[in-house]
Amino acid sequence: MLSPLNFTRKVNKEHPESYTRKVWLKFPGPGKNLNTHKVMEINSAQRGAEKDENIEQLLSLENPENKIEIVIHVNMLKEGWDVTNLYTIIPLRASASETLTEQTIGRGLRLPYGERTGVDEVDRLSIVSHDKYEAIINLANDPESLVRKVYYIDETETQTEGPKETIEMPTTYDHIVEDVSFTEQLAMTLMETPTYSVTTEQEKPKVEEQVKEVAQFVASYTSKSVTELNRQVKTFNAVKDPEIRETIHKTVVAETIRQFPHMNLQPETLTSVVEKAIETCVQALTDCIIPIPQTVVQPFNEVKQGFVDFDLETRSMNWHPSSQSMVGTELREGGETFEHNPEIAATTRVDSAENEIVRHIIVHENVDYSACADLLYKLVGEAKAHFCTYLSEEDAVEVMYQRQTTIADLIYSQMMQHFYTNEVKYRATEMRPFSRIETGFGGKIKSDEIYDLRATMPASEVRSKVFNGFKKACHTLYKFDSDTERKFAIILENDKTVNKWMRPSPKQFNIYYGPGGMNRYEPDFIVETDNDIFMIETKANNELKSKDVIEKAKAAREYCKAVSEWNAENEGKPWTYVLISHDEVRLNSSFKYLIDNRVQYEQMEM
């Protein structure tokens, strides 16, 4: 048994809550738990458990026990996601390309039972459309269209990704200080001290085992002590000062003796091994990490926003009530045109037309019903009064019911012309000269290899791969969200002006943005040169002016400003926030060229 599925493609990520809430109101599931609704939404803004749960739902859509009937998405379900029980497609936005249109239609053309049943309701895919309706019909009638083509697939060929795993992407610093060879060197140094150099052959195995334990502890504790120097020093280079190293030396020696009381260790026995451990760890720290000042940047002022009172402009609102029947055309050669009887799917009107329109408006995040209810009903009332100038009240109400979404959108668009908000101000907390480089984690297919950064592969596969082969990076492995990011990493590796670079893990920076400072910003890259440090974001050209990108840029600029001011007084380098359009990133680009041609803040309308 197959449950018929509806597939809705939304306008954007800001559209999600508004549209999804409307659908939930119309198609609730049993109980109050959202997981039991017939409606699910998936978009790129979802994270963690919410995203994992939705993906699990997607993978089981063909299971009769899955109750989901409507899937709402924003550009999340592209090639690679297929179901056979898709019966209705509702594109609420125009497709960016013909390929995307064909992919969407192709999903619905998959036969639920593997062959035509002869039952129209089972064999038919319905595409609900409005302004693009004729274009879709013409596409279907084109001899080169997807629905006219037949592809023969070798049944013996099967492509499966196989099971996946999460792997650790260690920092270069950790890779050095946690390597077995480092511990072995320390153990050899300890065995060469007078205390152990006279060990007999009979005692040697036991002593070597004890020495190995001591060496492991010294390596681990020294590494930890060096990374925690940010609490004691004012500058990054101060970790090399003799006084600082002497403090670490005393601490490590004392803690090692305390840790192994049964070995009766003496300070002079540990001197050489601890000195070697400190030398290695300090060198690895200064060579392999970018000094990222530890601080928190977040909004500190209360965000006030709302709408100024105004009168509705109604000149473009001149509709008449229309027949509620729907016209359909079969997407096949000589396909019949038929009329859908509205009474079959008629819904009971449970609320007034005014309330329905207001309900469509208040789904927008910046519309606070409690603060602007009077304005909302005033504007809806002005719309109704306008309709009544050329229609009877009954027809005016009918127009309001039929056009409720359009009317709500027009009212909201005019409201946005009278929207005000105070500027969000950011503040940085107390600084520390550097912070520990956080370990990264990423998913990969178990059977898949680790790829060299410069390996040739389709751009579409980059996101699913894990890469190595870095000489300047602060981690040994990385994943990239796009081929643009991978190309940018190659540029950094090739450019002689770049000393070090990294892709920060999600928790590396405490930079928060947006109203209330609830969203954590994760920069794409941090790059260090001889004189500067850059925080870099690569972004698709069509997203550069989005609200999300601008809010991130404001918070990131505040971070760079704060740490630059602090570094100026503490022998550190200035920080600069850089936003780069994806179409500027080419393998023959120099790092200087990309910095010089970055997006200027004026272009972002900040």
User: What pLDDT sits at residue 145?
Assistant: 57
User: What pLDDT sits at residue 345?
Assistant: 42
Instruction: Identify the H or E element spanning 185.
Output: helix 180-191
DSSP state of 297: E
Q: What are phi and psi of 212, to 5 degrees?
A: -60, -40
189's CB contacts (< 8 A; 6+ apart) are: 272, 273, 276
Give residue-wise pLDDT tens across range 76-133. Answer: 555 555 666 665 666 665 554 555 566 666 666 666 666 676 676 666 777 765 445 4
Going along the chain from its start, the domains and CATH numbers come out as 5-148 (3.40.50.300), 167-288 (no CATH), 305-421 (no CATH), 432-604 (3.40.1350)
**pLDDT above 60 for 348:** no
Cβ(140)–Cβ(147) below 8 Å = yes
Cβ(199)–Cβ(207) below 8 Å = yes
What are 465's two structure tokens?
A: 């791969």
Cβ(319)–Cβ(423) below 8 Å = no
Instruction: Identify the H or E element spanning 413.
Output: helix 404-416
Q: What is the DSSP string of 506-562?
A: TTS-EEEESGGG-EE---SEEEEESS-EEEEEEE-GGGTTSHHHHHHHHHHHHHHHH
Q: What is the spatial distance between Cα 318 and Cα 388, in angstroms, rounded to a whole number? A: 11
DSSP state of 44: T
Mean pLDDT to the nearest integer, 166-193:
91
User: What pLDDT sits at residue 133?
Assistant: 47
257 three-class SS: helix
Residue type, 203: E
Q: Which of 63, 13, 62 is nearest to 41 (CA)?
A: 13
User: What pLDDT sits at residue 283?
Assistant: 92
Among residues of the chain, what percentage have pLDDT more than 90? 39
Give residue-wise pLDDT tens across range 264-284. Answer: 888 988 999 999 999 999 999
Mean pLDDT to the nearest integer, 148-153:
50
Q: What is the spatial distance between Cα 469 and Cα 196, in angstroms, rounded to a whole number? A: 40
User: What pLDDT sits at residue 263?
Assistant: 85
Q: What is the spatial distance between Cα 145 and Cα 165, in angstroms, rounded to a whole number? A: 39
User: What pLDDT sits at residue 412?
Assistant: 94
- 404 or 76, higher pLDDT: 404
329 three-class SS: strand
Q: Mean pLDDT in the chain?
A: 79
User: What pLDDT sits at residue 34?
Assistant: 43
User: What pLDDT sits at residue 130?
Assistant: 47
Mean pLDDT to the nearest integer, 310-324:
87
Give residue-wise pLDDT tens across range 530-549. Answer: 999 999 999 998 888 888 89
- CA 554 to chain centroid: 18
Give residue-wise pLDDT tens across range 422-440. Answer: 665 666 666 788 888 999 9
Greatest mean pLDDT among 127-141, 233-247, 577-591 lies in 577-591
What are 74's two structure tokens?
A: 């924003």
Reported as a pLDDT band with limits 50, 70 and 90, residue 154 is: very low
What are 460's two structure tokens?
A: 């579409």
Q: How far is CA 24 from CA 27, 41, 283, 357, in A?
A: 5, 10, 58, 16
The bridge status of strand 296-299 relative to strand 426-428 is antiparallel
- 518 or 224, higher pLDDT: 224
